[in-house]
Structure 1
Amino acid sequence: MPERFSPVRLFVTLLALIFCIEVAMMLALHYLFANGTSVWAEAIADATVLTAVTSVFVWRLFMRPLRFALMSETAQAKAVMDAAAEGIITVDERGRIESFNHAAQRMFGYEAAEALGKNVKMLMPEPHASNHDGYIARYLRTGEARILGRPRELTALRRDASGFPIELNLTEIRLGGTRRFTAIIRDITERKQAQERIERLANYDSLTGVPTRALFFDRLHQAVNLARRGRSGLALLYIDLDKFKAVNDTLGHDVGDELLKSVAGRIRRRIRESDTVARLGGDEFTVILPKIPGREDAAVVAGKIIDALSAPFFLGGQKHEVRVGASIGIAVFPADTGDADALVKAADVAMYKAKQAGNSFRFYAVPAPSGITPP
């Protein structure tokens, strides 16, 4: 860290002041004791000798202890910075790095000697790196601060050009007429990974890896809103496995779980990337088919899924050959209903109709008005 207060500079200034005082005193003495005349050369020579002698005492008694104390304080401050778990970086008004503690070195992969004197934008990805000098210039000109004193989550750049998430807390220090900026940086990679794991557990089924009920309803509402704005069709398939309970009861839950994972995989391979397959619970799955042109197209997808699930499954390390089927109910937006939640209920009703026939699909039939018999 650059030295802000120099004992040597203070010592020289003090000696200059002492010298001036002693010159004035010598001139006065010569004037008094030399018949009213002043001899400049002799006064300056005497003052020089006295100042030289005085300097030894001033240095030993005051300046050297002060210098040692300041050096010790600086060393202690550096030790505290280097012991900190957070990265601590100071930069000047031009964005040049003035200090770079051990944590910052570990975090970014640079040695202090490699970073000192360089522009701090070397630690930033684009477009922040290109805009950084402009940020500082605008702040120095207008005083408008966007991140000073407020923790922010950003992406930083390591020496190997890999990015990682950080929490940045930036403060400004004014010393005399100069400004310095101190950045306290915390690597939050582990925190972000933990958040992602929690979000995944909440939104994705731990067994099959497909979206859970909560994420399914969120995506369904989004799909319905997009279909409504785009005046396009949307179909919802409600799938219930046939004979799943028998597999669970006879072969055990481990084989049943393996069957559910295989079922989810086969369904995924029969739909588009833009479609969503979700597990509502037990052996019930749903598939959202956005931008579906008509009922015939939904029927084609349902037929493919039934064919896929009717093929035998080899489970338990290929020991067990299992055959199941699927009953699928289909509801179409907006023909059957204009509401997302009602669409699920309609597809569920159609699924129970298909269940009566077994291993088949049925479309939801809008109930006829009271008193009217459907043809």
Structure 2
Amino acid sequence: MPHLSWASAWRSAWSRFRRWDALPVVPWRETLIAPTLFALVLVATAPIDFLLFHSLAELFSIGVAITVFAVAWNTYPFTRRSFLLYLGCGYLWVAGLDLVHTLTYQGMGVFPIQGANVATQFWIAGRLYEAVLFLTAPLTLDRHVNPRIPLAAGGLMFAAVCALIATGHFPAAYVEGQGLTPFKIGAEYIVVLLLLASITLLWRRRAHMDPAVNRLVTIAIGLTIFAELAFTRYLQIVSIPMVIGHVLKFWSYWFVYIALVQFTLRNPFQILGPNTGAYDAFPECTALVDRRGIIRQVNRALRDAWGDRPLIGQPCHAVLHPRDLAQADCPVCQAIRQGTPAQGLELSHSDQGRWEEITLTPFFWSSRVEGMVHVARDVTERRRGEERLSQLAHHDPLTGRPNRLLFHARVTHALDRARRENTRIAVLFIDLDRFKQVNDTLGHGIGDRLLVETAARLESCVRQEDTVARLGGDEFTVLLEPLHQPADAARVAEKIVHALGQPFHLDGHPVTTGGSVGVSIYPEHGRDLGTLLHSADEAMYRAKQLGRGNYQFYSEEMTAGARERQTLKNGLQQAIDHSELRLYYQPQVEVESGRVVGVEALSRWRHPEKGILFPERFIPLAEETGLIASLDEWVLRTACLQGRRWRDQGFPLHVAVNVSGKDLARDDWIARLEAILKESGLDPASLELEVSEAWLMSGAERAVERLHELKRLGVRITIDHFGTGLSSLTYLKRLPLDKLKIDQSVLESALQDADDAAIIRAIIALGHTLDLKITAMGVSTDAQLAFLRGPDHNGAALGGGDEYQGFLYQPPLPAEELDRRLRESAVVRH
């Protein structure tokens, strides 16, 4: 079994060693032709002229040794392999010793030296130095060696040997008539032992070497060992062992040369050669660059892209990277210099309008990065897609202006700069007036056009460095940066109010909206994003309260109002759920008979802390919180149920309910109305729906169609607040109306202005001509009622079926209170 184990180990070792013969990186046939021919010439020359044989053998070896030095020295800046440099520098001085050995050889006649001792001394010195060289070279495999050190050390050794031999202090190596001295023979065996130790050391440090180089150097050492053994066997200078030894020595030099050439020249090209085809298969432009950034190889895609322009040997930055990017600032060039891999480095060729993504993969040679595979992929389309996504993420898709996210980022950045530079900024909050009315009546297409035109007008009011953003819906914001003084913000706000107050012409529709603007300033009104926006929002809300179409700066007094509104917002849903909302009903009375013929349903909020709240306090809040739809439906259902109860009690009153344009624009609203009428059991003729004149004006065609749909249900239709927009008179004859309600403001001015009185008379006359009833709103004095009753009072001549409502007769009352009043009086028409 031990025998089998040793045999197996030997076979394994031999098979591993023989693998050099199958290495594809070494073309053995071409590599061995030259030395074989030289060896044959040497062997053929030896019997004819041994001096010529010796001279040729040594000169061939010296030439190879000097070539080894030249290749190692000149390729070191690229290979940075201390092992090969160390061998190259050592072989230069081995060649020097061999040269002196050749020139002092017996018969050369160059120096007046008799006998073979001096030549043999130089020979044995060369062999000893070569053995020490092989033994110490593996120690440099993982170390950096200054090239000058081995070169200088070898020079000192060469000078010392020459001095020792010249002064006779070097031991004799050959004695005429006796042959080799014990020193010579012993030295040859020492050389053999040193060489065996070198093989052992090479084997142990093989992990630090290229496998092919390791095997080639090992073969060279083995040939040197056999050569040394041959040199221990001759008795005469001219002998067969001498011939064999010189041939083997030449072969050992040759294998060292092949090892060096293999590593520094052939291997790189053999590695790159097959990869050239692989690179050509890459669709991306690919180049191999060295650590200095010089292009060494390119693939077909890059050649095709550049045409006939030269690339090899050019700096990659000059030909492949953007022209406007300095090399010192180029991240790709920095990675190449550092030898670090990189992925996803994007460069913009702005002059060509394209983007490239660069990937750098290190190119290793003997565990050292020697260059980079530079792959450039065109990512222009991807970048454009990303820019489009970024545009969508940070800009409003309708107007193209910054959205909430980008506006917040810009305000935050502006605040940072204002803090550093001790300057001001201003935030303006703009809300379009009557936008919902336009959107609901004229349609979303016109509403979208209005928003786009609004954004354009806002842009025309500010500087290029300012920001106009759309937060959503009809809300816009403006960032003024920098702001020199608050008066500058006031001037911009005034320009905005004026610009938005001008009519818009949208698809043939003249639309007048206006805008309310709130202004907050850093640092007076807030020191952070949230506070500034909140302050501007409060100021905008105050502008709306003051009649819309104006601007307001934030003030501390607004904070209390804001807290109150927020409290009401928070409690509105609870009010709906806990029946805090009530309907009050104001009687509508015939002018001539004084009978109650109907009621108008008006919502009230019985707040547990604030008492009775009127609609103008909470309806806008319901719109802001999205509760308006459920609130409107609750009002309609409650009013219909109450109207049915009154009819059951013998009070056939019609019930009037205000309907918003937003409700009328909903596709399912008429179906919901029909369901409520069926649920309550109220006769549709007893329900009176009041629509605003402004809604009719903003969307006449759609309004006509919608009102006809309502009329088919059997309900009555009234124009509320008639007289505030007389342009709607042209549509009256097309509308399926039952009644006109004269606005209170018109009635109040009629008593003091003859022109307004004439307007009311015209309205009443027009209504009677169209067979419409007239109801006067807000009648609170006897004088107003007298004016309405007709010619005897120099008034407006309301007819027998016309009505009025107001505090003169009764304020709005809860249903139960109105029940009691109806029972006590006999003024209900049966």
Which of 513, 519, 523 does residue 334 from structure 1 map onto?
Answer: 523
Residue in 1 that maps onto 2:441 = 250
Q: 1:231-250, aligned counterparts within 5 Å?
A: 231-250=422-441
Give the whole-Å Cα distance in 1 for the aligned partners of 2:369 and 2:362: 14
- Describe the shift of the 1:298–1:101 C-alpha distance in structure 2 as closer, same or farther (beyond 3 A): same
Q: Give, as a single letter, the amino acid of the residue that structure 2 aligns with 1:86.
A: E
Letter aligned with residue 332 of structure 1:
I
Letter in 2 for 1:217: H
For 1:94 and 1:209, locate their aligned partners in 2 and report how far apart those are by CA, in whole Å.
47
* Deviation string, structure 1 residues 312-332 (Cα, Å, up to 9, x no partner): 11112xx21111100111122
1:81 partnered with 2:81:
no
Task: Select 1:16's aligned residue among 31, 34, 39.
Answer: 34
8 A Cα contact 1:89 1:183, kept in partner: yes
The one-letter amino acid of 1:174's match is: W
Tell me how far apart the structure 2 counterparts of residues 168 and 183 of structure 1 sit (CA, whole Å): 6
CA deviation map 1:300-348 (0-9, x unaligned): 11111111111111112xx211111001111222222223211111111
- Mark the CA change 1:360 to 1:25 in structure 2 (over 3 Å): closer, same or farther: same
2:492 counterpart residue number: 301
Q: 2:463 aligns with which of 263, 267, 272?
A: 272
**Equivalents in 1 of 2:342, 2:439: separation in Å?**
55
Tell me if structure 1 keeps the 8 A contact 2:429–2:537.
Answer: yes
Q: Report deviation, 1:209.
A: 0.9
Cα shift at 1:162: 6.2
Match of 1:323 in 2: 512
Instruction: Check 1:290–1:119 CA distance in 2 against 1; reply closer, same or farther (3 A cut).
Output: closer
The equivalent of 1:55 in structure 2 is none
Q: Which residue is 1:99 aligned to?
A: 297
| Structure 1 residues 104 and 172, CA gap change in structure 2 (3 angstroms) | same
Matching residue of 2:20 = none
CA distance change for structure 1 residues 320 and 6 in 2, over 3 Å: closer, same or farther?
farther
Q: Is the 8 A contact 1:101 1:112 kept in 2?
A: no
How far apart, in 2, do the equivalents of 1:258 and 1:132 lie?
A: 47
- Answer 1 or 2: higher relative contact order, Cα 8 Å, separation at least 6: 1
Q: 1:170 to 1:127 in 2, by over 3 A?
A: farther
Greater Rg, structure 1 or structure 2? 2
Check conservation: 1:27, 1:39, Cα contact below 8 A.
Answer: no
Matched, 1:351 2:540: yes
8 Å CA contact 1:152, 1:167 repeated in 2: yes
Structure 2 residue 475 is the aligned partner of structure 1 residue 284? yes
Q: Quick check: 1:275–1:290 contact (8 Å CA) kept in 2?
A: yes
Q: Distance in 2 between matches of 1:349 and 1:253?
A: 28
Q: Deviations over 1:195-250 (max 9, x none)?
A: 22221111110111111111111111222222233222222111000111111111
What TM-score comes out, normalization by structure 1 length? 0.73
Match of 2:576 in 1: none
Report % sequence identity: 34
Q: Give the Cα–Cα distance (whole angstroms) in 1 for the partners of residues 309 and 490 of structure 2.
A: 68
Give the Cα separation in 2 of the matches to 1:362 and 1:157.
49
| 2:386 pairs with 1:195 | yes
What residue number does 1:150 align with? Answer: 342
Between Structure 1 and Structure 2, how many residues are aligned? 320
Q: Name which of structure 1's ranges 91-100 and 323-332 shifts more when overlaid on structure 2.
A: 91-100
Task: Indicate if the aligned counterparts of 1:152 and 1:169 stay in contact, CA closer than 8 A.
Answer: no
CA contact (8 A) 1:309 1:324 kept: yes
Q: Give the distance between the partners of 1:286 and 1:188, measured in 2 at CA.
A: 36
Q: Which residue of 2 aligns with 1:63?
A: none
> How much does 1:260 deviate?
0.3
**1:18 counterpart letter in structure 2:** T
Tell me the distance in 1 between the aligned counterparts of 2:369 and 2:531.
66
Aligned: 1:223 with 2:414: yes
Whether the aligned pair in 1 keeps the contact of 2:354 and 2:378 (CA below 8 Å) is no
Q: What is the letter of the counterpart of residue 119 of structure 1?
A: P
Q: 2:550 matched to which residue of 1?
A: 360
Conserved 8 A contact 2:363-2:369 = no
Amino acid in structure 1 at the alignment position of 2:287:
I
- Structure with a larger share of its residues in helix: 2
What is the deviation of 1:79? 3.3
Q: Which residue identity lines up with residue 523 of structure 2 in the other structure? A: P
Query: Corresponding residue for 2:311?
Result: 115
1:100/1:112 contact within 8 Å kept? no
> C-alpha distance in 1, partners of 2:284/2:494?
58
How many angstroms apart in 2 are the aligned matches of 1:211 and 1:157?
A: 27
Q: Conserved in 2, the CA contact under 8 Å of 1:173 and 1:182?
A: no
Q: Relative to structure 1, is the Cα distance of residues 325 and 23 closer, same or farther in structure 2, using a 3 angstrom cutoff?
A: same
Find the residue that maps to 1:165 and give its secondary structure: strand
C-alpha distance in structure 1 between counterparts of 2:544 and 2:352, whole Å? 56
Partner of 2:744: none
Which residue type is aligned with residue 343 of structure 1?
L
> Taking structure 1 as reference, are residues 76 and 150 closer, same or farther at Cα in structure 2, changes over 3 Å only?
closer
Structure 2: how far apart are the matches of 1:340 and 1:314? 36
Amino acid at match of 1:22: L
Task: Give secondary structure in 1 for the equivalent of 2:355.
Answer: strand
Deviations 1:2-51 (A, max 9, x none): xxx795xx6554222212333455467x58xxxxx97979xx9xxxxxxx
Instruction: Tell whether the 8 Å contact from 2:293 to 2:337 is kept in structure 1 after alignment.
Output: no
Q: CA deviation at 1:284?
A: 0.3
**Corresponding letter in the other structure for 2:302:** A
- One-letter amino acid of the counterpart of residue 344, structure 1: L
Secondary structure of 2:409's counterpart equals helix
The structure-2 alpha-carbon separation of the partners of 1:165 and 1:147, relative to structure 1 and needing over 3 Å to count, comes to farther
Q: Which amino acid is the alignment partner of residue 17 of structure 1?
A: P
Measure how far apart 1:110 and its partner are: 0.3
CA gap 1:178/1:164 in 2 versus in 1, 3 angstroms:
closer
* Offset of residue 286 of structure 1: 0.7
- Once superposed, what is the RMSD of the aligned Cα atoms? 3.8
Code of the residue aligned with 1:331 in structure 2: it is: S
Structure 2 matches for 1:134-149, cutoff 5 A?
Answer: 145-146=337-338, 148-149=340-341
Report how far residue 156 of structure 1 moved: 6.4
Equivalent in the alignment of 1:66:
none
Alpha-carbon distance in structure 2 between the residues aligned to 1:320 and 1:88: 61
Q: Which residue of 2 is the match for residue 124 of structure 1?
A: 321
Cα separation, partners in 2 of 1:257 and 1:86, compared to 1, 3 Å? same
Q: Does 1:209 align with 2:400?
A: yes
Query: How far 1:258 moved relative to its partner?
Result: 0.9
The 1:161–1:214 alpha-carbon spacing in structure 2 relative to 1, beyond 3 Å, is: closer
Structure 2: 5+ residue stretches without partners: 1-24, 57-268, 561-830
Structure 1 residue 125: deviation in Å?
A: 3.1
> Counterparts of 1:157 and 1:6 in 2: how far apart (Å)?
44
Look up the SS of the partner of 2:479 in the other structure: strand
C-alpha distance 146-269 of structure 1, shift in aligned 2 (>3 A):
farther
